Amino acid sequence: MTLIPSEFAIGEVFLPPFLVVALLAMAAATLTAHLLNRFRVSRFFFYPPLVLLALTALYIVGIGTWIIPL
């Protein structure tokens, strides 16, 4: 059992967990991309936007599995 709930509500408004996971994943992927740019690791990728998409998918899976269960 994790401490983070899988249901989110702001007042009486229910937020689907996938939405929260997706937003967090996009934020994490953007931060990762920024760091990769900063340290010039991005020059080793053939097409960085595809890598960003892949990072987002990985973060969704990771966050959805271990942090906010989907």
Site of interaction with other proteins (CB under 8 A): 13, 19, 33-34, 36-37, 40, 42-53
**Residue 34 or 66 having the CB closest to other proteins:** 34
Are the CB atoms for 20 and 26 separated by under 8 Å? no
Shortest distance in whole angstroms from residue 20 CB to other proteins: 11
Give the count of beta carbons closer than 10 Å to the beta carbon of residue 16: 11
Q: Smallest distance, Å, CB 19 to other proteins?
A: 7
Give the other-Cβ count within 10 Å of 21's Cβ.
22
CB of 1 to other proteins, least distance (A): 28
- CA dist 63 and 20 (Å) reads 10
